[in-house]
Amino acid sequence: MATTEFGQAVRRWRERVSPEAAGLPVGGQRRTPGLRREEVSQLAGISVDYITRLEQGRATSPSQQVVEALSRALRLSGPERAHLYHLGGLQPPGPDSVPAHLTPSVQRVLDRLTHTPVAVFDAAWTLLLANPSYAALMGDPSGWHGHQRNAVWRNFLAPSDRVRHTPRSRHALQSALIADLRTATARYPADQRLSRLVAELLMHSDRFAELWDTGIAGHHEAARKTIDHPHIGAVTLDCDILTVAGSDLRIMVYTAEPGTEDAERLALITTLDIQTLVS
């Protein structure tokens, strides 16, 4: 269980991060240094009310997901992240767990891709971070929790994304996701959250169980995708999967060839008011 030290640490680290360092506009006069709670909320996908209660010591049982999200939003180093876990009454993920830590240097790179839709997933395809451009393009994921944030789970148990699929492309995507998940289970056999995810998929999706039993191998590759956006219409983009050296994190980036109609549509999606675009 977290102590008041947890909230004090969050506030102290919040006050040392400048808006510029977090990739946010400065925006007028500031009474206190660092990030506002509203800005941490935006970066971490956690409500302002909950952040306030954590800082004031009125919330005392933060989940691993909350601690990890705050670590990313506050640009914590590895030792600082581990300390925040301990203050929250949790054990930091060990080497046998699927890694979810974004280093501050990788985070700075992502901060500069303001008008490029970018999402970061772990080795099990659980969404760790999605920038506002990604939310505008693909739909706002901030309300997703637990298994809802996992791309494999959503593909098999809640297939409602905006990507247009043929039966062939759907099969290729599902096969690649399962192959990636199988690789993750072999690499991190002690990760209980990963084991629970696979067990739930086997229990609730006949299609997943069928493909899982085939023992398929492979990995998710770059592809050209058509997204049916509810306000702008169809836009066809290149989807590339980037990896960070020494990490199992996957960075998904959507781009369009300059000078094309798709590039114009993507620019419109990422520059219009995001709050009117996400659904």
User: pLDDT tens for residues 215-268?
Assistant: 876 677 788 999 999 999 999 999 999 988 778 889 999 999 999 999 999 999
122 and 259 together in one domain:
yes
For tokens 């009117």, the residue is 276
User: In angstroms, rounded to a whole number, what is the distance separating the alpha carbons of residues 47 and 189?
Assistant: 33
39 and 162 together in one domain:
no
Any domain includes 99: no
133 and 58 together in one domain:
no
pLDDT score recorded for residue 50: 93
Angle between helices 4-16 and 48-55 (to 10 degrees): 120
Any domain includes 265: yes
What CATH number did the domain enclosing 224 receive?
3.30.450.180
Any domain includes 95: no
Average pLDDT value over all residues in the chain: 87
Any domain includes 92: no
Domain residues for the domain of 64 are 4-87
pLDDT at 273 over 70: no
Residue 241: which H helix or E strand, with range?
A: strand 233-243
71 and 117 together in one domain:
no
Name the residue among 181, 180, 253, 248 with its Cα closest to residue 219: 180
62 and 129 together in one domain:
no
149 and 67 together in one domain:
no
Higher pLDDT, 94 or 259: 259
Any domain includes 94: no
Any domain includes 97: no
- pLDDT above 70: percentage of residues in the chain: 95
pLDDT score recorded for residue 3: 64
Question: Which pair of structure tokens corresponds to residue 187?
Answer: 């690499």
Higher pLDDT, 206 or 272: 206
pLDDT at 152 over 50: yes
User: pLDDT tens for residues 41-89?
Assistant: 888 888 899 999 999 988 888 988 899 989 988 989 889 999 999 999 9
Question: Which pair of structure tokens corresponds to residue 110?
Answer: 């992502």
In order, the DSSP letters of 135-197 are HHHH---TT--GGGGBHHHHHHH----SB---HHHHHHHHHHHHHHHHHHHHH-TT-HHHHHH
User: In angstroms, rounded to a whole number, what is the distance separating the alpha carbons of residues 210 and 217?
Assistant: 14
User: pLDDT tens for residues 17-35?
Assistant: 888 777 777 666 777 788 9
Any domain includes 126: yes
pLDDT at 102 over 90: no
50 and 78 together in one domain:
yes
* Number of structural domains the chain divides into: 2
Which of 32, 61, 87 is the last residue before a domain boundary? 87
The three-class DSSP label of residue 126 is strand
pLDDT score recorded for residue 28: 65
